[in-house]
Amino acid sequence: MKINRAYKVELSPNNKQRTLLEKSVGVARFAYNWGLNERIELYKSEKKSLTAIDQHKILCSKKKTEFPWMYEVSKMAPQEALRDLDTAFKNFYRGIKKGQKVGFPKFKSKHKSKQSFSISFGFYVTNETINIPKVGYVRLKEKGYIPTKDVKINSMTVSKDADKWFISVQVEQDIPEPSNQIESVLGVDVGIKTLATCSNGETFENNKYLKKSKKKLARAQKNLARKKFNKETKRSSNNRNKAKLKVQKIYKRISNQRIDALHKMTSILVKTKPRYIVLEDLNVSGMMKNHKLAGAIGDASFSEIKRQLTYKTAWFGGLVIEVDRFFPSSKMCSVCGCLKEDLTLEDRIYICDCGNVIDRDLNASINLEKYGLIKLKHTDSLSGIKACGESVRPVQVCMIEKAVSVKQEGNLSLAKIL
């Protein structure tokens, strides 16, 4: 089975190579801003638009006379930047047609935007180095990590984070065909107190890396706020640049800790080889509007969990199913199917009149598992599995089946049928 996969490694450039990488980032940013300005002016005057190819031809014709310094870096850096601009406009127009709120492409800032550039061909990867056009052979800090045999290298992206340089190489490679999956469904309930609770009883604690580093981050930000910044020239002092770098390093460490924990958790889940993983379709953007919980929700990274589970499950031949966001997974008893409308976030133990006393998150994950089984029964996607076992009560089955049918019809909310 062929998949597209990216391998990201830290670079170890010398001073000359660092300067060339900085110039490449600057040229890519300039090309993006130049292309955006040209499109805006053309639309104002003639109500027309240009493609990335058209703009690249115009830019090449102006290089010798107006922008000779662009020859110091690879010609693909501005070319790929214009392609990114073209993609941004396509996403903007597509969002307007669908009625979605998609922002208009913005100009990139030297200090706030991500510092990166892409190259689609002309580079060569070895076990220890990578040859970047106009930069030369740059050493890799992690040797032998990027595959070089039996793969097709599509593109690479060089980026700067804090004071470190990284390269992400996208390759197309063959992986073994997925073996026979265990005929089972795994319900996963994500939360703040416990990051993930599975229907098989396995739990993953939320380490709350941002909260642990909050005091250290606050001191660094306070120190940064005291440093001088000239608003007229928009230049910072050397001490301010050093203080800014300390803040960036703290944020980078928090990000690395979070990503490492999420990758380990999702890998453990998919390596148990469940055929289907059931998640809630959470309204994360709406949840972030709660200022008391926004920081904790952002630190938990619910969307990243879903993204990683989606592609990793596909590698093992499985599938991720999303439950309708109005499905009362937490309020419904996993034994008798009764709803507890007065359940609040403070209630961590679910106590039902039928005698069921269970952890709130575990109860929700079991309901998610049963939802997945019944939905698969409706869609005939799961053969050989009994969707409704003895542990599923008739009242609960009826309620979940209604939710499944409403999810498929897409014109009613679950609240209207309960």
Q: What is the pLDDT of residues 329-362, one digit of tens each?
A: 888 888 888 888 888 888 888 888 888 888 888 9
Residues 183-206+255-416, CATH architecture: 2-Layer Sandwich (3.30)
- The predicted model scores a pTM of 0.82
Percentage, residues of the chain above pLDDT 90: 52
User: Is 232 in the active site?
Assistant: no
Q: Which residue of the set 80, 86, 280, 369 is catalytic?
A: 280
The pLDDT of residue 234: 73
pLDDT tens sequence across 49-99: 889 999 999 999 999 999 999 999 999 999 999 999 999 999 999 998 888
Contact between 330 and 283 under an 8 Å Cβ cutoff? The reply is no
Strand partners for 170 = 6, 155
pLDDT(391) > 90: no
User: Is 342 in the active site?
Assistant: no
Q: Which residue of the set 80, 299, 324, 361 is catalytic?
A: 361
Mean pLDDT of 377-397: 46
- Please state the separation of Cα 334 from the chain's center in Å: 32
Q: Which two tokens stand for residue 177?
A: 């065909």
User: Is 86 in the active site?
Assistant: no
Sequence ranges of the domains in the chain: 2-174, 183-206+255-416
pLDDT band for position 150 (cuts 50, 70, 90): confident
Mean pLDDT of 362-386: 70
The pLDDT of residue 263: 95
Mean pLDDT of 239-268: 94
Q: Which residue of the set 189, 299, 324, 369 is catalytic?
A: 189
Query: Concatenated DSSP letters for 263-332?
Result: HHHHHHHHHT-EEEEEEE---HHHHTT-TTTHHHHHHHTHHHHHHHHHHHHHHTT-EEEEE-TT--TTTB
The pLDDT of residue 98: 87
pLDDT tens sequence across 161-199: 989 999 999 999 888 887 765 668 899 999 998 999 999
Mean pLDDT of 30-37: 96
pLDDT band for position 24 (cuts 50, 70, 90): very high
Average pLDDT, rounded, for the chain = 86
Lowest mean pLDDT among 20-24, 322-326, 405-409: 405-409
Q: What angle do CA 366, 295, 106 make, to 5 degrees?
A: 115
pLDDT(373) > 60: yes
The pLDDT of residue 415: 34
